[in-house]
Amino acid sequence: MLDRSSRPRPTTPLRVDADGEPLRLLHVHAHPDDESSKGAATTARYVAEGVQVLVATCTGGERGSILNPAMERPDILANITEVRRAEMERAREILGVDQVWLGFVDSGLPEGDPLPPLPEGCFGLTDPAESCAPLVRVIREFRPHVITTYDENGGYPHPDHIMCHRVSVAAWEAAADPQAFPELGEPWAASKLYYHFSFHYDRMLALHEAMLRHGLESPYAERMKDWTRDPAHQDRITTRVPCAEYFSVRDAALLAHATQVDPHGAWFAVPLDVQTEVWPTEDFELAQSRIGPTRPEGGLEDDLFAGIAVPAVG
């Protein structure tokens, strides 16, 4: 199923588990571009260390808006599915990962009061007990040690992000169950399931205040006015992965999604040296673990493979 011929050679020795198997990481995302806006520097770091990384993309992003004014052209609007697939391929090459499409149809982002119904046949209306099947197959074929996805709110309440969470959790459980979907391969129990914690209060406040200290305009000024810190939400973070040296790779992958990202927009308003200075990690919540507690003893983890990896070889 997977062609790894394009993966860059690791810059450090391969990381392995206790059986000598290369470490494997599966990211489950709702749309093309999510893999570049959530955890992409962590991805690039692990690829450089020889970890095998696979992105499973639930939908094709067919109903996504064009968010870059320079890309609002009739030829792009008429071929948005093909354009977004091509963007995903460029981002995949930049990150050095493999990628599979799970084949669901984008739900769009309904707006209005009351909200209109989701379109018939879209991902957001699927039954996760059944629609997890394609992801179960991927898990059993790829055999990841670690899976990442979104929390129960989807990171933000997009119907596809919420369904991505539900499908990921259902597949995490079903892939390990020999009674579930026996036709989809031998069971595989991934060791750990993480939720992305990209846009949380402490990080955004730190970046906002750093911009002001440097005499720069903060892109988060309006957001921070009405945002109150929720200690319970912040306390969900269990893992901070140092990855600042790969922020530039993250940004290059994000720019590959040209219909979704304005290169002059807020995504790139904070200089990389400021980001590195005040928040050099990407953050996660260890939501489920089959190898130990979900609240690491002795403080936060700094590695998604903590408790799995053994010292690097050769």
Binding-site residue ranges for Zn(2+): 31, 34, 161
C-alpha distances in Å from residue 113, one per residue of 17, 119, 162, 232: 51, 17, 20, 30
3 state SS of 147: strand
Identify the burial level of 223 via C-beta atoms within 10 angstroms of its C-beta, where 0-12 means exposed, 13-18 middle and 19 or more buried. middle
- Asked whether the CA dihedral 288, 291, 295, 300 is positive or negative, the reply is negative
Q: How many CB atoms lie within 10 A of CB 1?
A: 9
DSSP codes joined into one string, 121-144: T-GGGS-HHHHTHHHHHHHHHH--
How are beta strands 281-289 and 239-242 bridged, if at all?
Answer: antiparallel
Q: How many CB atoms lie within 10 A of CB 67?
A: 16
Query: Do 148 and 167 form a contact (C-beta atoms < 8 A)?
Result: no
> Tokens at residue 23, please?
């470490």
- Dist. CA 181–CA 168, nearest whole Å: 15
Nearest CA to 96 out of 280, 259, 240, 253 is that of: 253
Pick out the residues of the known binding site: 31, 34, 161
